[in-house]
Amino acid sequence: MRGLGYQPMLDGFRALAIAAVVAFHAWWRTFPGGYLGVDVFFVLSGFLITWLLLEERARTGRLRFSAFYVRRARRLLPALVGLLVVYAMFALVVARPQVRGSMLRSVPAVLTYGSNWLAVRGHGLGPGLGQMWSLAIEEQFYVVWPLVVWLALRRWGADAIGPVAVLGGSAALCLRELLWHAGASASRVYYGSDTRGGAILLGCAAGWLVATGRVPTRAWVQRTMAVCAALSAGYFVATVFGHNPAIPGMSPTAPITVIDLGTTVLLIWLWTPGARSVRDALAAKPLVFLGRRSYGVYLWHAPSIALAGWLLPRNTAVGTPFAVGAAVVVAAVSYRYLERPFLKRKGLALEG
């Protein structure tokens, strides 16, 4: 079993993903495909959690569910609760009466990680909280996947984890297409845990492959992976700027599928010798700085943009950049005083 340790390049990976998401929410006309950054986060989350679960099993001989869930709570809840407290206070004291009820009702929906299914049913969250659907899917995954890993380990051993993840991920990608062609709503296809969990499961397969030392070693395979990784990165950039051609016979979510698969290949390729220069680039200090604070930026950027739109409805050219900068500052404060004290405990900084 290969130990994970702290990998700065993965923070750089997070930085690129959060930059795409923020660009989409702030300047969606210029970056209409920036929403795909969410899928990069999904793949990376599956990658890290699976590696850490297998690493714990190799180190201790068992999986401690209570410890795992406590670690996830310490990693995610402090910053989220901080945001929701500020959000609820703003709703009570400042918000207009016509939106106050929606804002207050959104707080428990976000805190219980069920907001994606509300979106499926057409019930939107309060202003500034629309992005929380992806956190809900990740948390639902964190509840289920350790149990799946435990069952697979007991019945078939560690060799089964990767195939189980690949089968589950492939099924989710196919389900997305089948539901679309069967006439399901766009909300059902886009926000469903079963339709969007494929990215996380593909990341799980990648984490299993790298952690167990199964990264291909043949030169021609690694070169092929490098080409696929480069094409995937180019496709991602082109799609962020809205230059993604429709794929005949497939749903409008097909670019998501391409990014899910491409990010998976890219993550695996990063652990090959030929990816050294890319690893070094991703480990650049500005990217690492942003990546380590990406969770806080994800939480705060949409509320900041919504607030700027309320205060400066006719001057978005000034308000939006200010809102994005403010979100980064608040995220840095959150990281220093809410997240970091918990991250120092028991190596939590390693988790995504």
CA–CA separation, 87 and 258 (whole Å): 36
CA–CA separation, 261 and 229 (whole Å): 10
Tens digit of pLDDT for each residue in 79-130?
999 999 999 999 999 988 889 999 999 999 999 999 999 999 988 899 999 9
DSSP string, 50-104: HHHHHHHHHHHSS--HHHHHHHHHHHHHHHHHHHHHHHHHHHHHTS-HHHHHHHH
**Separation in Å, CA 62 to CA 52, 68, 149:** 12, 12, 11
Whether 224 is in a domain gets the answer yes
Residues of the chain with pLDDT under 50: 346-352
Whether 274 is in a domain gets the answer yes
Q: What are phi and psi of 233, to 5 degrees?
A: -65, -40
Nearest to 107 by CA among 127, 134, 78, 121: 127
Residue 112 lies in domain: 8-350
Whether 20 is in a domain gets the answer yes
* pLDDT in the model for residue 47: 96
* pLDDT in the model for residue 1: 62
Whether 1 is in a domain gets the answer no
**Separation in Å, CA 189 to CA 183, 235, 236, 312, 333:** 10, 22, 21, 34, 36
Whether 176 is in a domain gets the answer yes
* pLDDT in the model for residue 5: 75
Into how many domains does the chain fold? 1
Whether 3 is in a domain gets the answer no
Say if CB 104 and CB 95 are below 8 A apart: no
* pLDDT in the model for residue 352: 44
Whether 2 is in a domain gets the answer no
* pLDDT in the model for residue 313: 77
